[in-house]
Amino acid sequence: QVQLQESGPGLVKPSGTLSLTCAVSGGSISSSNSWWSWVRQPPGRGLEWIGDIHPSGTTNYNPSLKSRVTISLDKSQNQFSLKLSSVTAADTAVYYCRAYTGYTSFDPWGQGTLVTVSS
Amino acid sequence: EIVLTQSPGTLSLSPGERATLSCRASQSFSSSYLAWYQQKPGQAPRLLIYGASSRATGIPDRFSGSGSGTDFTLTISRLEPEDFAVYYCQQFGGSPRTFGQGTKLEIK
């Protein structure tokens, strides 16, 4: 079964760039039916969809973050990445990577990683 | 953007009771693209229902989903102690793939 694992710095300075990677095992990131996505959850709050990417290269982003977000695929490493620029304390959250088709039971999630924005 | 509104915000029930959670969309979309998740503290969300009414692998049959268009419902027929958690709906019918704000199911 597909498993996802996030990695990256747990602390980012204000105005800096948050960079996370999600390693995929047990399946190929090139699967044509799947979207690869990032979701975040500020402490004590609900889930916020950040964006997703298809193996074709098509991306979708949350309009509230679109100017600061880039999601990319690395097919050679079977992983995908998130970059969020110009971060503030409001970007402090647990960040999850996940995959889905949107209409089947394929919907694995990573365990999540806490990223704190602080000087 | 499709806005999903979940109600109630908090639901207080006892084990053995029936829970009914609502997810209402600001515009209609195919029920094929509506999912429900359960999240417990410190854990990633877990898929319960996809396609509005299909249970994911390993999900007990006390969980059921229904609805179409703009109104969707998650029903838990007889609450078990492990069912007390936060529940989210999400739509994949358009971008952004929005979540509802969540319903907290707490023990009465």
Residue type, A72: S
Q: Which mean pLDDT values do the consecutive 10-residue runs of chain B (108 residues) have?
A: 97 97 97 97 97 97 97 97 98 95 97
pLDDT digits (tens, 9 = 90+) for A37-85: 999 999 999 999 999 999 999 999 999 999 999 999 999 999 999 999 9
> What is the torsion angle, in degrees rounded to the nearest 10, for the CA atoms of residue A112, residue A116, residue B2 and residue B5?
80
Residue type, A63: P
The residues in A 76-105 lying below 8 A from B, measured between CB atoms, are: 96, 98, 100, 102-105
pLDDT exceeds cutoff 90 at A33 = no
Percent above pLDDT 70 for chain A: 100
DSSP output for A58-97? -EEE-TTTTTTEEEEEETTTTEEEEEE-S--GGG-EEEEE
The residues in A 39-68 lying below 8 A from B, measured between CB atoms, are: 46-49, 51-52, 60-63
Sheet holding B19-29, edge to edge: B4-7, B19-29, B63-76
pLDDT at A31: 79
With a CB cutoff of 8 Å and minimum separation 6, the contacts of B61 are: B55
pLDDT at A111: 97
Q: How far apart are CA A78 and CA A21, in angstroms?
A: 11
Strands B46-50, B103-107: pairing kind: unpaired
Closest partner residue to B57 (CB to CB) among A46, A63, A105 is A105
